[in-house]
Chain A
Amino acid sequence: MGRYIIRRVLWVVLLLFIVSALTFLIFYELPSADPAVLRAGKSPDPALIKSIRHSLGLDKPVYEQYWLYMKKVVLHFDFGYSYQNSQPVRQEIFDRLPATISLTVGAVVVWLLIGLPIGVISAVRSRSFIDRLSMGGALLAISAPVYWLGLVGLYLFSKDIGKVGIFDGAGTYTPISQDPSKWFGSLLLPWLVLAASFAAFYARLLRSNLIEVMSEDYIRTARAKGLPERRVIWRHAMRSAITPIVTILGLDIGVLLSGAILTETVFNIPGVGRLAYEGIINADLSLIQGTVLFGAFFIVLANLVVDIGYAFLDPRVRYT
C-alpha cells in the first residue's frame, strides 16, 4: 500500500508538469490576444509594447519562459503575477477559494439529499408511477444545461429581476465569515441549480446499481436469514450499490473544486472558476496557468483519494 501511494504521488507530479507544459504551449500556439498589447492601452506605441513584453518576459523563447515559471512554482510556490491587476496569482486563487468551496460543498449536500432518496425509492418501487415520474424528471434535469437553468432560475425566482422573489439574485455572494445567513441566502439558488443535474445523475445511478444488486445471490441469502426487508435494502444492498457512487462523488468534487466556471459566471460568484474565466478573457497567462494547475491538482488529488479509498470500501481490492 505504501509503495503504491508513493508511485501514485510521483505520477501526480509528472502529470502536473505535463498539464502546465500543455497550457503554456496552447497559450502560445493558439491565436489569442497579445497580453502586451492588451496592457499597453489604446493606440499603443510599438516601443511601449516592446518594453512591456520585455518586462513580462514574453520576449524570451517559450521553453525559457516555461523553465523560469516552473522554477518559481516548484521552489517558491510562486505562480507569478496577474497581468491584469499585478496581484500575485497565488493570492488571487486563495482569495477566491472559499467561494468555490462554499458552492461545491453546498451543492454536494443538496444533490446527495435529493438524489440518493429518489434513487432508493425508484429502485425499491421500480416501474411504479413514482419511479417513472422521478426518472422522467431526472432525464429533464440532466438534459438542462446549467447556465440555462441558472438564467431561468434568476429570471423566475430572484429577488431583483425575478417574477417571484424567493432567492437572492446574482452577485450577492457574501463570505461566510462576514454574514453566515447572507452567505446561505446568496448561495441557495446556485446550489440548487448546480446540484440539479448531479442529483438526477446520482438518482439514476443509484437506482440502476440498487436494482442490479437486489438480484444478487447474497441478497437472497440475506432474506433467507430472516432479515427484515428494510435491513436487506439498507444494509446489504446499499453497501454494494453505494460503493461506485462514492468513487464518482470523489471525482465530481475534484472537478467542481477546480472551478464551476459556468455557475460561478452566471451567478457572478467570485470563485476560482470565475477567476479562470477572467484570465481567459484577458489573455492573462499567469492567471490561466495558475487556475489550470490548481484545477488539475484538485482533480488528480481526488483521483488519488478515490483510488485509495476504494481499497477501504471494497475489501477485495488490494493495491501493491
Chain B
Amino acid sequence: MSPLLDVADLRVEFTTEDGVVHAVDGLSLSVEQGRILGVVGESGSGKSVTGLTVMGLTRGRNAAISGSVKFDGRELLGAGDAELRGIRGNDIAMIFQDPLSSLHPYFTVGKQLVEAHRIHHHGVSKAASRDRAAEMLDLVGIPDPRKRLDNYPHEFSGGMRQRAMIAMALINDPRLLIADEPTTALDVTVQAQILELIQRLQSELGMAVIMVTHDLGVVAELADDVVVMYAGRVVERGTKETIFDAPEHPYTWGLLTSIPRLTTPRGEELVPIAGRPPSLINRPSGCHFHPRCPYCLPRHTREDPRLEPVAGDTGHQVACLLPEDTRREIWRRVKGGVPPEQAREELLSGQEEAR
C-alpha cells in the first residue's frame, strides 16, 4: 500500500537579510493511512515549517521550496492555488499551538465552524452546516454544543478552545490531520485530555495524524512511528518502540535522558542536552549536531552523516557517524545512568584525539 502522505527530499529555504535560512534540508517522511507519526525536535528544527509546507502555507517571495510532497498520489508542490485550497481544510486539516490566537476573536465559534464546512460544501444550507458544527462540538466533548456555537472564543477556556479548533479541523472528515504542538500552550491536565481526544478521534475516524511536538511524552502517548528532526533534517526514524527502547542517535538519547518520567528511578539525574540549537544560516560543519554531541570525534566535524538503515531493522534509520556497536554500547551505559562524559571516556578515549 502506498503511503497517504509521502514527502521526499523536501527543502525549504528562506532568504533573509542575514543570509539563507535552511529551515528544512532534504527531509523525507511518509505517513500511512490511519497511523500516527510523531515528529520530534527542538524549536528551530524545521518541524513546524514542514507541517505548513505540506499544507501549502509556506508563503512569501523569499521562500524557496523543492522536493516532493505527494498526498494520495497527487503532487502538492507546485499544484495550483485552487487545487490546494480544495485539499486544505478538506483532505488535510491542521491545528495549531495556541488555540486562542488561532481562532478569530471577532467571530463566534459557530460562525468559524460553519465557514469551514461551507467552503468545502457548496450548496449546503446554513442550517445544515450549523447542525454539522454542533455535531462536531458534541464530538469533541463540548457540553451544550448548540448554545456554545454562539459564544466567542474568549468565552471558552483554553482546553475548550483547542477542542473547538479540533472540531473545526475535523468538520470535513479530513484524511490527514497535522497537529502542530497542539498541547504546548495548555495546562498539564488539559494536555492529557486533548491528547486522549485526538487519539479517540483518530481511531474512530480512521484518519492519519502527524503530531509535531518537542515533547517525547506526547509521542510516547500517541505515536505509532517517530521521526526525530535536528537542524531541518531527520536524524533518526523508527517505530515508537524502537525509538524508546533502542535509540541510536546521540540527540535522541539526549531527548530521552532529559525528560522526567514516572518510571525514572528516584535520585537518578536528568541530563540536559548541552548548548543551544544551531543557527540555520551558518550551520555547523560535518554532522550538524557535533558541537553539542558528547561523543563527537574530530572526523565528525568534517564528515556529513547520511540517514542509513540500522542493521537488522530496515524501518529504523539513523544519521550518525559512530560505529554501530559503539553506539549500542554507549546507550547501554547511558541508559543505566552513566554520565555521557564517563561513557565517552570509557569507550572513545582510545579512538581519536578529543575535540
- Chain B residues, Cβ within 8 Å of A41: none
In the docked arrangement, what's the CA distance between A229 and B56, Å?
Answer: 13
If A239-B104, A314-B106 touch, whether A226 touches B89 (CB-CB below 8 Å) is: yes
Q: Which of A31-39, A154-162, A214-222 contacts B (4 or more CB under 8 A)?
A: A214-222
Closest to B117 in A: A225
Closest to A224 in B: B94
Query: Which one of A218, A239, A314 lies within 8 Å of B101 (CB-CB)?
Result: A218
B85 in contact with A228 (CB, 8 Å)? yes
Query: Which one of B89, B101, B108, B119 lies within 8 Å of A216 (CB-CB)?
Result: B101
- Chain B residues, Cβ within 8 Å of A18: none
Query: Which one of B85, B90, B115, B154 lies within 8 Å of A315 (CB-CB)?
Result: B154
If A225-B116, A315-B152 touch, whether A217 touches B101 (CB-CB below 8 Å) is: yes
CB neighbors of A among B88-125 (8 A):
88-90, 93-94, 96, 98, 101-108, 115-116, 119-120
The answer to whether the Cβ of B78 comes within 8 Å of any Cβ in the partner chain is no
Query: Which one of A217, A225, A240 lies within 8 Å of B89 (CB-CB)?
Result: A225
- Chain B residues, Cβ within 8 Å of A222: 104
B104 in contact with A224 (CB, 8 Å)? no
Closest to A236 in B: B104
A223 in contact with B88 (CB, 8 Å)? yes
Nearest CB in chain A: distance from B120 CB, A: 6
Nearest CB in chain B: distance from A310 CB, A: 12
The answer to whether the Cβ of B195 comes within 8 Å of any Cβ in the partner chain is no
Closest to B52 in A: A220
Query: Number of A-B pairs whose CB atoms are under 8 Å?
Result: 69
In the docked arrangement, what's the CA distance between A174 and B87, Å?
Answer: 60
If A217-B96, A220-B57, A315-B154 touch, whether A226 touches B85 (CB-CB below 8 Å) is: yes
- Chain B residues, Cβ within 8 Å of A7: none
Count of A interface residues, CB-CB < 8 Å: 21
Produce 1/0 per residue, B168-204, CB < 8 A to A: 1000000000000000000000000000000000000
In the docked arrangement, what's the CA distance between A229 and B82, Å?
Answer: 10
B106 in contact with A240 (CB, 8 Å)? yes
Count of B interface residues, CB-CB < 8 Å: 30
In the docked arrangement, what's the CA distance between A224 and B119, Å?
Answer: 12
B120 in contact with A226 (CB, 8 Å)? yes
Nearest CB in chain A: distance from B215 CB, A: 20
The answer to whether the Cβ of A56 comes within 8 Å of any Cβ in the partner chain is no
- Chain A residues, Cβ within 8 Å of B120: 226
- Chain B residues, Cβ within 8 Å of A228: 85
B88 in contact with A220 (CB, 8 Å)? no
If A316-B152, A316-B154 touch, whether A221 touches B86 (CB-CB below 8 Å) is: no
In the docked arrangement, what's the CA distance between A217 and B162, Å?
Answer: 14
Nearest CB in chain B: distance from A171 CB, A: 47
Produce 1/0 per residue, A230-258, CB < 8 A to B: 00000010011001000000000000000
In the docked arrangement, what's the CA distance between A233 and B57, Å?
Answer: 15
Query: Which one of B88, B106, B107, B108 lies within 8 Å of A224 (CB-CB)?
Result: B88
Nearest CB in chain B: distance from A318 CB, A: 10
- Chain B residues, Cβ within 8 Å of A225: 88-89, 115-116, 119, 168
B102 in contact with A223 (CB, 8 Å)? no
Closest to B86 in A: A226
The answer to whether the Cβ of B226 comes within 8 Å of any Cβ in the partner chain is no
A226 in contact with B104 (CB, 8 Å)? no
The answer to whether the Cβ of A227 comes within 8 Å of any Cβ in the partner chain is yes
A316 in contact with B55 (CB, 8 Å)? no
If A315-B154, A316-B152 touch, whether A227 touches B119 (CB-CB below 8 Å) is: yes
B104 in contact with A221 (CB, 8 Å)? yes
Closest to A222 in B: B104
Closest to B84 in A: A226
Nearest CB in chain B: distance from A76 CB, A: 46
A218 in contact with B116 (CB, 8 Å)? no
- Residue from A216, A218, A227 having most chain B Cβ neighbours under 10 A: A218
Known: A223-B88, A226-B89. 14 other contacts (CB 8 A): A217-B101, A218-B104, A221-B96, A221-B102, A223-B57, A224-B89, A225-B89, A225-B116, A227-B119, A228-B85, A239-B107, A240-B105, A314-B105, A315-B105
Can you show 20 pairs from A to B with CB atoms below 8 A apart?
A217-B96, A217-B102, A218-B101, A220-B57, A220-B102, A221-B102, A221-B168, A223-B57, A225-B116, A226-B85, A226-B86, A226-B88, A226-B116, A226-B120, A227-B119, A239-B104, A314-B105, A315-B106, A316-B105, A316-B152
A-B pairs, 3 with minimum CB distance: A226-B89, A226-B88, A225-B89
